[in-house]
Amino acid sequence: MERTKADYIEYRIGRSEEAFRDAKLLAGNGSWNSCVNRLYYACFYVVSGLLLDIDIQPKTHKGIKINFLMHFVKTEKIDKSLGKFYTNLHDWRGEGDYADYVDFNKTMVFPLIAETEIFINTIKNLISEK
């Protein structure tokens, strides 16, 4: 069975939802660096689905971010605050995964969970409008 573009978009939305559930579990266990990683990937997957919806398939995380900002934030289809949020998560994920002595904490990460949910729902709504 050959998969359609819609199948791939749905798959990426599903991966986003799974990563978001994982982030909440990690937060419940106080695993803040890992939680940031999963929050980022929850956003990454849904953004990759949004870009696929307009036939853009960047090969890198940076490419996903740049294309999202160019095609959705700069054009005001998405509020600038959500673009900044995604950019921050992208950077924090990199720090948490690759830098030494980076220790995120509850005070910093816990509010990101609600913001991530808003971000994901906003992107899903934009995909379903098309």
Give the pTM.
0.95
Check the CA dihedral 4-49-44-118 and report its sign.
negative
Give dist(CA 72, CA 30) in Å, integer: 34
Q: How far, rounded to the nearest angstrom, does the alpha carbon of residue 67 sit from its chain's CA centroid?
A: 13
Domain ranges in the chain are 5-129
Give dist(CA 94, CA 60) in Å, integer: 13
**In the numeric block, which tokens belong to residue 91?**
């950077």
Reduced to 3 states, what is the DSSP secondary structure of residue 26?
A: helix
**What tens-digit pLDDT sequence spans the chain (130 residues)?**
899 999 999 999 999 999 999 999 999 999 999 999 999 999 999 999 999 999 999 999 999 999 999 999 999 999 999 999 999 999 999 999 999 999 999 999 999 999 999 999 999 999 987 6
The phi and psi torsions of 30 (rounded to 5 degrees) equal 75, 20
Q: Which fold has domain 5-129?
A: Four Helix Bundle (Hemerythrin (Met), subunit A) (1.20.120)
